[in-house]
Structure 1
Amino acid sequence: MKNSANSATRKARWITLVAAGAAVASLTVGALPVAASAAERTPAPVTGTFHGPRSVNTAALTKAMAPGKVATGTMVRLGGPGVRWTEATGPLSQDPAANFRIGSVTKLFTSTVVLQLIGEGRFTMDTPVQEILPGTLPAHWQPITVGQLLSHTSGLQLPCVDFVDGEAPTPEQVISHWTDPKCAAPQYPVLTQQYNGANYFLLGMVIEKTTGRTYADEVQRRIARPLGLRHTYSPKAGDRSLPGPVLADASEIEPWAWAEGGMISNAPDLERFMTALMRGRLLKPAEQRQLFTMPAIADKANPFSMAGLLRQEVGGTVVWGKTGSMGRSTSGVFATDQAARTVVYSLVPATRDKDLMRAHIGALVAAGL
């Protein structure tokens, strides 16, 4: 039986984990202005050639990476045709292949697998998740589609109950905390995006139910092995180990992040994955278009595409990507059209000041792109 102190601690940690992805996503937004008009927030699929200003400002990058009051350690890797630059400062491994927990960047792998399944005709963007996972959501809820889960437009609210101390919960148990009768039900109609990890827990369950294999196996079979991502995998529930070399210690983690934030990777692997994704090597054309199509109710501050990519602008250039946080690490990967330029970063924050973090991450991404 848990005591009240443990219960309060677990609840605080859970709410922090649930909100972490949204908080980290907003860090980048503050420094990278978003298009003002609805038309600009609903771009056509990216197919052209990148023509932005592309001299790498390594001096600005080095300055932004210097250990200080914003971050105690920072790693940045730049990629693209004819571009290769990696540097790490502070208490971070100097090995460019060092591993780290990628947090909510995991969602890009989840959405890629889901879109592949759509391309195979297993289900559609409009298929209600209740048809694939009967009994998982309350019977009186309105249908929530796969597309709404991918684009964070499901209306799912935050959980309001604790976990019982002990072993790592299953995905089904995690979802039960979002659907408990004591918690707020989805609000209809859904008027705007609301970033929520529950969407991607459900998508992980969709992957397993549809394929008959584990989420981890499908990521390996469909993405990691074909692309040669030797450092990229989803650990088993409760596995807190991080194989060396390690970029930054992240031992203080929760074991249930799974398909919404539990994967491990490194900078070269994330660069290769993002390049393949942006260049259409992982998806069929119809599903590739979903990567860059914005829902009608896209959030103005943190706009996610129908496939869950965060859309931002740097000096008038559109970039796509995802941020994440797990343990002490805050990370992200962004790319321009056709991956003409990619940026992967990971840092150990030294402050909780969101304004400072926005400026710092914005400087890293802007100088790199």
Structure 2
Amino acid sequence: MRTQRLPATKALRRMAVTALAATLLAGTATPGPATADSSVTVSAASGQDRPELRKAMQAFVDAGFTGVQLRVHDERGEWAGSAGVRKRGATAKPPTNGRFWTGSIIKPFTATLVLQLVAEGKIVLDAPVAGYLPELGLDRRITARMLLRHTSGLFNYTGDFDSDGTFVPGISANGDAWLPDRFRSYRPEELVRVALAKPLRFEPGSDQQYTNTNYTLAMLLIEKVTGRSYAEELRRRILRPLGLKDTSVPGDRTRLPGPYAHGYYRYEDAAGREQVVDISRQNLSLLAGAGDLISSTQDLHTFISALNGGKLLPAPLLAEMRTPHPKMGYGLGLFVQDLGPGCGNVYQHMGSPPHGYGALMYSSPDGRTTVTGSVTWVDEATRGPGKDFQKLVDALVKEVFCDGQGGPRQ
């Protein structure tokens, strides 16, 4: 994709998307304009009528999302539904338990694997990672805890910012530059070496900055100490024990299996004409261990409920995982979010691959109340009406965890 002699507006768009990239991959995906009919009805998979959830889903469609699928487990039981359309130009709704690209929701899975190995004595949480991966030449001050908490100071291989706000490019992971490379395969070592070629952003342990490099390194750490691939360890330790049949690490596979909703990217071609591309197929080896997961709302519910219910980690390590650093509210693979007076904390992670898909996963401290979901949209470099995404998610989450009133459910 040519980048020379860009019109000012196009250059600004590209600057905007790189500035948003870290936030997107952290889980605050920002969707763009859609073509769904705002009057579309919701398809509920359970027998319950939950008008407040139907309204919350419809709000996403009204804001411009093409589709949304949602699953809620709470004291009223299980509820699942979808709104919008599965594909542009069609009328079928998104499947209520379709597969989707989860983006950074893989990070709690990766952190759980590392902490299981800590429990087995195979990894020491505060030992230098360089001792396990000497071939990479890591700063010996960087520990496994720092990787999981994003306090290592490592450069983000998809691009990062200097202290003065100057953007330092890395591997293209969004925008028009990403589009022609969306099927390219990357090796995790290749990604890490891009990051290690740059100076540290800050002294290890002195600050916190969300960086995909940390979790690609965590993936390599898992593989080194077990002698097996990350995908196999994930299957052995989490997917098979929990019966997660819809969840997988795709590797170089670019297609979503089974029924799924489509994501899109809008751009301007060399002749100035607007084009919309179906990007349901994309190669997420670009985000190894940090954003390359396929799942469903049911599987995400099962995982986050089991994790917070104490089924995957010993209590002391689960407590460590859920202890947040004050800067970002991020523990070891989970965000700890205070919903306000009377509501208490939820444990969550959201995610988005480069474009077109977003996912959310929220849980109460005991794992009994969860919200999991996926959205699709027509994305673009400026991210469209993405300003509404966090507001919509917050309203949905408070509806479930606080009766929509900012107070606890009775």
Q: What range is the shorter-chain TM-score in?
A: 0.7 to 0.9
Q: Does structure 2 conserve the Cα–Cα contact (< 8 Å) formed by 1:57 and 1:368?
A: no
Counterpart of 1:51 in structure 2 is none
* 1:31-67 residue CA offsets vs partner (Å, 9 max, x unmatched): xxxxxxxxxxxxxxxxxxxxxxxxx994333223222
The aligned runs of 1:223-262 (5 Å cut-off) are 223-236=238-251, 238-249=252-263, 250-262=280-292
Contact conserved, 2:72 with 2:79, CA < 8 A, in 1? yes
Deviates more, 1:154-163 or 1:271-280: 154-163
Q: Percent identity?
A: 30
Question: Could you tell me which residue of structure 1 aligns to residue 388 of structure 2?
Answer: 356
Q: How does 1:268-287 map to 2 (within 5 A)?
A: 268-287=298-317
Q: Which residue of 2 aligns with 1:334?
A: 362
> Which residue does 2:202 correspond to in 1?
187
In the alignment, does 2:249 pair up with 1:215? no
* 1:169 paired residue number: 186
Local SS of the residue matching 2:186? coil
Aligned counterpart for 1:323 among listed residues 329, 350, 355: 350
Question: Cα deviations across residues 182-235 of structure 1 (Å, max 9, x unaligned)?
Answer: x33241264431111100000000000010000000000000000000011111
Q: Secondary structure at the match of 2:213?
A: helix
Please tell me whether residue 345 in structure 1 is matched to residue 373 in structure 2. yes
Instruction: Give the equivalent residue in structure 1 for 2:54.
Output: 62
Change (3 A) 1:120 1:136: same
Partner of 2:334: 309
Residue 129 to residue 158, structure 1, CA distance change in 2 (3 Å): same
3-state DSSP class of the match of 1:338? Answer: coil
Distance 1:186 1:129 in 2: 18
CA contact (8 A) 1:70 1:357 kept: no
| Map of 2:23 onto structure 1 | 22
1:27–1:254 CA distance, 2 compared to 1 (3 A): closer
Pairwise CA distance, 1:149: 0.4
Alpha-carbon offset, residue 268 of structure 1: 0.7
Q: How does 1:29-68 map to 2 (within 5 A)?
A: 58-66=50-58, 67-68=61-62
Supply the AA of the counterpart residue of 1:74. V
| Match runs of 1:133-152 below 5 Å | 133-138=133-138, 141-152=139-150
Instruction: Kindly state the Cα deviation for residue 290 of structure 1 after the two structures are TM-superposed.
Output: 1.4
Aligned to 2:114: 114
- Say whether the 8 Å CA contact 2:94–2:260 is kept in structure 1: no
Cα shift at 1:21: 5.0
Give the length in aligned residue pairs: 327
> In structure 2, what is the Cα distance between the partners aligned to 1:18 and 1:267?
29
**1:71 counterpart residue number:** 65
**Distance (Å, rounded) in 1 between the aligned partners of 2:306 and 2:22:** 24
TM-score normalized with structure 1 length: 0.80
The question of whether the paired residues in 2 share the 8 Å contact of 1:76 and 1:86 is answered with yes
After superposition, give the CA deviation of every residue in 1:131-165 in whole Å (9 maximum; x if it has no partner).
11003135xx3520000000111111234445897
| Equivalent position amino acid for 1:243 in 2 | P
Tell me, in whole angstroms, the C-alpha distance in 2 between the residues paired with 1:121 and 1:175.
Answer: 25
RMSD: 3.0
2: distance between equivalents of 1:203 and 1:26? 18
Between the aligned partners of 1:125 and 1:144, the Cα distance in structure 2 is: 10
Where relative contact order (Cα < 8 A, 6+ residues apart) is larger, the structure is 1
Letter in 2 for 1:303: G
Residues 116/17 of structure 1: CA separation in 2 closer, same or farther (3 Å cut) = farther
What secondary structure, in the 3-state scheme, does the structure 2 residue paired with 1:74 have?
strand
Alpha carbons of 1:94 and 1:20: their partners in 2 closer, same or farther (altered >3 Å)? Answer: same
Q: 1:248 & 1:356 partners in 2: Cα distance?
A: 20
**1:100-143 CA-partner distances (Å, limit 9, x unpaired):** 111100011101100000000002110111111003135xx352
Q: Which residue of 2 aligns with 1:48?
A: none
SS at 2:62's partner residue? coil
Alpha-carbon separation, structure 1, partners of 2:400 and 2:218: 32
Greater C-alpha radius of gyration: 2
Unaligned stretches of 5+ residues in structure 2: 7-12, 30-47, 87-92, 158-168, 173-179, 264-279, 402-410
SS at match of 1:337: coil
Q: Secondary structure at the match of 1:147?
A: helix
The answer to whether the 8 A contact 1:95-1:245 is kept is: yes
Contact 2:185–2:283 (Cα < 8 Å) also in 1: no
